[in-house]
Chains A and B, each alone.
With several copies, the nearest count.
Chain A
Amino acid sequence: MSVSDQHDLVSVQTHDFDVAFEYAQLRADNAQDGAIVFFSGLVRDFNQGQDVTGLFLEHYPAMTQKALTGIVKKAKARWPINRVRLIHRVGQLHLSDQIVFVGVSSSHREAAFDACHFVMDYLKKQAPFWKKETTHKGDNWVQTLEKDQKALDKWQKDD
């Protein structure tokens, strides 16, 4: 991606990520940023009315990196943020596994919060990932939620 900083990252990967390492990358040699906000998404045991035992994450390989990079660029154009690290896992995941990480550094607390939140809201609606849950009653594709569209709408009100 076209980025302003070697510490930026957009990665779609099957392997796990290490939050401590990602945090260190946001912080290293960075005395200008007073605020770091991150979001971490995990596989939880209950979703849409079923006991979940695992999750398979399908994606559109040719598109995922491009979509995520576009979302990060939108955030960078909108807020005075510095470093952004975005990781999304694909493939078979288990209970409590890490799915997604978004970390943002900024000299401004509000910008770091808003940009991190924005990236997650856009990713939920505009990046080509699909979750198939494994339950004791069989597999089922996760359905989209109206609240995710509403989460996105709030960023458009401000435009």
Chain B
Amino acid sequence: MINVVFFAQLREQLKSDGLSLDIPTPCTVQDVQQSILTSRPEWQDFLSNPALMCAVNQDMVQLTAPVLEGNEVAFFPPVTGG
């Protein structure tokens, strides 16, 4: 199982702050994204937005980054703090 979390505008668009996903590991962030979209095709427009950023275990990564069993994968819009 891996834990998936969403933030900010994406969280509002999906009306979800996250979910648990049963997916064979190791995989990639992109695999996680595709697996979610298979069960939630209505999220396509929001979760496939190429501007989205992602993190694995609280480190920002690219879509090709590896995901291991038990990891937390986060998807969120470009950050706007400061």
Most chain-A Cβ atoms within 10 A of its Cβ — which of B7, B76, B80?
A: B80
B74 is an interface residue with CB less than 8 A from chain A: yes
Write out the residue numbers on chain B whose beta carbons fall within 8 Å of the beta carbon of A144. Answer: 51, 77-80
CB under 8 Å from chain A, chain B span 24-51: 51
Most chain-A Cβ atoms within 10 A of its Cβ — which of B58, B74, B80, B81?
A: B81
What is the CA–CA distance of A132 and B12 in the complex, to the nearest angstrom? 12
Q: Which interface class (under 10, 10 to 19, 20 to 34, 35 or more) fits A?
A: 20 to 34
Are B74 and A130 in touch, CB under 8 angstroms?
Answer: no
What is the CA–CA distance of A129 and B80 in the complex, to the nearest angstrom? 6
User: What per-residue 1/0 map shows which CB atoms of A43-60 lie under 8 Å from chain B?
Assistant: 000000000000001111
Write out the residue numbers on chain A whose beta carbons fall within 8 Å of the beta carbon of B74. Answer: 60, 63, 128
What is the CA–CA distance of A125 and B79 in the complex, to the nearest angstrom? 6
A104 is an interface residue with CB less than 8 A from chain B: no
Write out the residue numbers on chain B whose beta carbons fall within 8 Å of the beta carbon of A32. Answer: none
Write out the residue numbers on chain A whose beta carbons fall within 8 Å of the beta carbon of B79. Answer: 124-130, 144
What is the CA–CA distance of A154 and B82 in the complex, to the nearest angstrom? 18
User: What per-residue 1/0 map shows which CB atoms of B42-82 lie under 8 Å from chain A?
Assistant: 00000000010001001110000000000010101111111
Write out the residue numbers on chain B whose beta carbons fall within 8 Å of the beta carbon of A58. Answer: 7-8
What is the CA–CA distance of A62 and B51 in the complex, to the nearest angstrom? 22
Minimum CB–CB distance for B8 against chain A, Å = 4
* Contact (A130, B81) CB under 8 Å given A58-B7, A62-B58: yes
B5 is an interface residue with CB less than 8 A from chain A: yes
Are A59 and B58 in touch, CB under 8 angstroms?
Answer: no
* Contact (A130, B7) CB under 8 Å given A60-B74, A100-B81: yes
Most chain-B Cβ atoms within 10 A of its Cβ — which of A60, A143, A144?
A: A60
* Contact (A57, B58) CB under 8 Å given A130-B8, A141-B9: no
Are B80 and A130 in touch, CB under 8 angstroms?
Answer: yes
Could you list which residues of chain B lie within 8 angstroms of chain A, going by C-beta atoms?
Answer: 5, 7-9, 51, 55, 58-60, 72, 74, 76-82
Show 15 A/B contacts (Cβ-Cβ < 8 Å), sorted by A: A60-B58, A100-B81, A100-B82, A120-B82, A124-B79, A124-B82, A125-B78, A126-B60, A127-B82, A128-B7, A128-B81, A130-B9, A130-B76, A130-B79, A143-B78
